[in-house]
Amino acid sequence: MKITAIICEYNPMTNGHIRHLNKAKSDTGCDTILCIMSGSFVQRGDPAIADKYFRAQVAVKQGADVVVELPTIYAISPADNFAFGAIKTISAFSDVEYLSFGSECGDAELLTKAAMLLSDEPGELSALIQKNSKNGDNYPKARALALNEYGKKHKDFENLIGILDKPNNVLGIAYITAVLKAGLNIKIHTIKRDGADYNSVECDSDYPSSTAIRNAIKRKDLESIANDVPYEVYSYISKLQTGEDALSDMILFKIKSMSKEELSTCYDVSTNGILNRIKAASISATTLDQLLETAKTKNHTMARIKRLCLYALFGITNKMYQDAVTCPAHVSILAINESRKDTILSSLSLSCKNVLTRFSDVNRVDKTLRFLIQLDFTAQGTLNIINRTSSYNKKMLLVSRS
């Protein structure tokens, strides 16, 4: 096999994602598209719009050959750890030749140059980052400003000015950095994002952002996105009943009932400052939105606060994350192209001992992985409560494109 891997959320799948799938396959000449997809919750700390099995099924119908789940503990992590988890999952496949993603710059060489510099920071660049952090900037902004300043001082890196100002460039650099650190022989393929900016909230371009589409769904303005998503997605979301108040109530109850000492063990709680803000905000908050608005600061973004709330809800601690890092790679398959099933599973069986095609396979894989798989199952059940559904798929979907 010749595999091209794509790290994704498909929250939901859009025409822009389909364009990327097709472009990745044609440009790299691969015969297999592997998607590593977030499951029930996504990197910004939000619940996924739709069930992970449905999203995986749509991805296969639209061109992917196999969709595997990015473990929840990585899917709701900061960008570098999100990338680490995705590349760790990719490493379980022996035939991956390319990693493909969208970026604002569309230049694989430039992104690789940035990744190599940032993964082995010169002392001068590190000092600039520290200076910006002391001035009150959060780490992503401190690093972006530092790189811009470094580029102005060093002509060889002048072309990196502004590269960290765009979110998909940042994520792409994190992917490349993870590939380099893992020592994998994987080529990088990127396509330039067309249409709306990543954070755009308007559905007024040929390829509106997923953010804009999610906002339209929340407004129940489905007509505005009818031509921007596959028919299956439009049909699914038109029937969707979400109850995000349920998530709000679950998180508020959990945080209100936890002591500061218990909260301090949560994953990514690095300072007392963020801990104190969340705990203080929870006292008077009656909704999750109120807690988030009160707790966020210049240094602590909304996405980070949302993720911390999920760590509290799911009981994810720093120790759990460190245990996850040391676990062997595993592959949990959500959906697979029926005509390629035998070939893909046969190849995968030679490179990875920990493959799950159904939840009951948890009893067959390395015991150290069980807490990660149980966390994925818990997250799936939580999303079912939010979306008010009793549907509970537990096994890989075989998808026919005919």
Could you tell me the residue ranges of all domains in the chain? 3-104+170-241+323-399, 108-165, 244-322
How far is it, in rounded angstroms, from Cα 399 to Cα 59? 10
- 266: helix, strand or coil: strand
Residue type (1 letter), 310: L
**193: alpha, beta or left, given left = phi > 0 and alpha = psi -120 to 50?**
beta
Range 32-60 average pLDDT: 97
All residues at 6 or more sequence positions from 302 whose CB lies less than 8 Å from its CB, including other chains: 292, 296
Question: How far, CA to CA in Å, does 289 sit from each of 157, 200, 246, 247?
Answer: 41, 21, 13, 11
144 — pLDDT class (breaks 50, 70, 90): very high
pLDDT tens by residue, 215-262: 888 888 888 899 999 999 999 988 887 667 899 999 999 999 999 999
- Count of alpha carbons within 13 angstroms of residue 34, beta-carbon side: 29
208 — pLDDT class (breaks 50, 70, 90): confident
How far is it, in rounded angstroms, from Cα 312 to Cα 315? 5
pLDDT tens by residue, 307-360: 999 999 999 999 999 999 999 999 999 999 999 999 999 999 999 999 999 999
The whole-number pLDDT of residue 167 equals 93
Residue type (1 letter), 23: K
The whole-number pLDDT of residue 389 equals 85
pLDDT exceeds 70 at position 204: no
Q: What is the crossing angle of helices 244-257 and 302-314, to 10°? A: 70
pLDDT exceeds 60 at position 201: no
Range 101-129 average pLDDT: 97
300 — pLDDT class (breaks 50, 70, 90): confident
Q: Are 226 and 238 a contacting pair, CB within 8 Å?
A: no
Residue type (1 letter), 11: N
Range 210-217 average pLDDT: 88
Residue type (1 letter), 10: Y
Q: Are 230 and 18 a contacting pair, CB within 8 Å?
A: yes
pLDDT tens by residue, 173-193: 999 999 999 999 999 999 998
How far is it, in rounded angstroms, from Cα 144 to Cα 330? 33
Look up the CATH architecture of domain 3-104+170-241+323-399: 3-Layer(aba) Sandwich (3.40)
pTM: 0.94
pLDDT exceeds 70 at position 1: yes
- Tell me the pairing of strands 355-356 and 331-337: parallel
Residues, the chain, total? 402
Average pLDDT, whole number, for the chain? 93
Within 10 angstroms of residue 115's Cβ, the number of other Cβ atoms is 21
- Report CA Rg, the chain: 21
Backbone angles phi, psi at 70, to 5 degrees: -75, 120
202 — pLDDT class (breaks 50, 70, 90): low
**Beta-bridge mates of residue 103:** 192
Q: Is 314 exposed, middle or buried (0-12, 13-18, 19+ CB in 10 A)?
A: buried
Q: Are 10 and 59 a contacting pair, CB within 8 Å?
A: yes
pLDDT tens by residue, 145-174: 999 999 999 999 999 999 999 999 999 999
How far is it, in rounded angstroms, from Cα 5 to Cα 98? 6
- 354: helix, strand or coil: coil
pLDDT exceeds 60 at position 200: no
**Beta-bridge mates of residue 189:** 100
Range 289-316 average pLDDT: 92
Backbone angles phi, psi at 165, to 5 degrees: -85, -5
